[in-house]
Amino acid sequence: MSDVANRNPGTAARRRTVACLTVLALAAFAWLAAPQGAAAQVVAMVNGEPITALDVTQRIRLIQLSTKKSPSRQEALDELIDDKLKVQLAKRYIAEIPERDVENAFSNVARRVGLSPQQFAQVLQQNGIGAQAFKSRLRSDIVWGSIIRGKFQGQLQVGDRDVTLALQSKSGDSNDGKAGDGQAYDYSLRPILLLVPRGSSPGAFESRRREAEGLRQRFQSCAEGLAMARTLRDVAIRAPITRSSADFAQQQREVLANTPIGRLTPPDTTPQGVELFAVCAKTPAKNADTASEREARDQIYNKRFQELSKNYLKELRRSALIELR
């Protein structure tokens, strides 16, 4: 057989090609294996649980993407240590956070940037961040919020006097903090959801968005428009809800203020499909916080939450077994 191969240049060439490809494949395997091994290197242990070099790398990229700042390696590592401590504490005091809560939080973040969860995961991947790394951060935030609210419930209460003093300090006036404030309203809304099956392509969401825009153009009143919406395929019209304008963020308040009674808000993409809200009634709110009062209340609450959170984390670090490698 070897004599035949030697006399047949084609066979010899093929063998040389196979040999070269084998060498290249082994070289590629070695090149891929090295970074993975380095990424799996444990750089810290927190009460017996590891943090790897890959965790640190992805957290650095995540901070860069969310804050537009370049953190140091130590800053990223400190965040990861804090996350470990938060989740470990949660396992001792509260039940495991349901996976659906994490998925809903992930979907809400995607929604705020105008993307479906699948599109958001792709953007993260393009920036060198696994979706699971982002969800791990969300999980720690969720459990930590539950712990702080439960442990420091009394200290987080914000009274009306706190709000009044904050508004007076901000405006320099001695009035009740409502001068020049916008009127708060109660809205009666009907959510309309054009369903999109889970795992559908971005094109499916876009098709349903076009349907939603068409419905919005034809929708002239809640009485007739809701009946029209029911004729669409795969649509869910939910029970009426009443919400105060002070419950919404500034952008959402502006959307509602610019939507006439009997018309639909612009469509919004959610994990379940494309959602619109029919504004069926709008009345001045009674005994409700104005937008400025709600903003002041939220600022006071958030400041207290951050201070309590920071101090409690310091306590956890002092009692934790943290080994840096």
Is domain 43-151 classified as CATH 1.10.4030.10? Answer: yes
pLDDT in tens, 206-263: 999 999 999 999 999 998 999 999 999 999 999 999 988 877 877 888 899 899 999 9
| Across 20-29, 112-121, 161-170, least confident range | 20-29
Q: What CATH fold (topology level) applies to the domain 185-284?
A: Chitinase A; domain 3 (3.10.50)
User: Is the full-model pTM beyond 0.85?
Assistant: no
The torsion angle over the Cα atoms of residues 286, 292, 295 and 299, rounded to 10 degrees, is -120
Once rounded to an integer, what is the mean pLDDT over residues 289-309?
A: 85
Work out the pLDDT band at 272, boundaries 50, 70, 90: confident
Residues 47-69 pLDDT 10s? 999 999 999 999 998 888 888 88
CB 50 within 8 A of CB 321: no
Break the chain into its structural domains and give their ranges.
Answer: 2-39, 43-151, 185-284
β-strand partners of 284? 185
- From 217, 315, 197, 207, select the one nearest 266 (Cα to Cα): 217
Task: Judge whether 246 and 288 are in contact, CB under 8 Å.
Answer: yes
Residue 177: both structure tokens together: 């903090």
What span, in angstroms and rounded, lies between the C-alpha atoms of 299 and 290?
Answer: 14
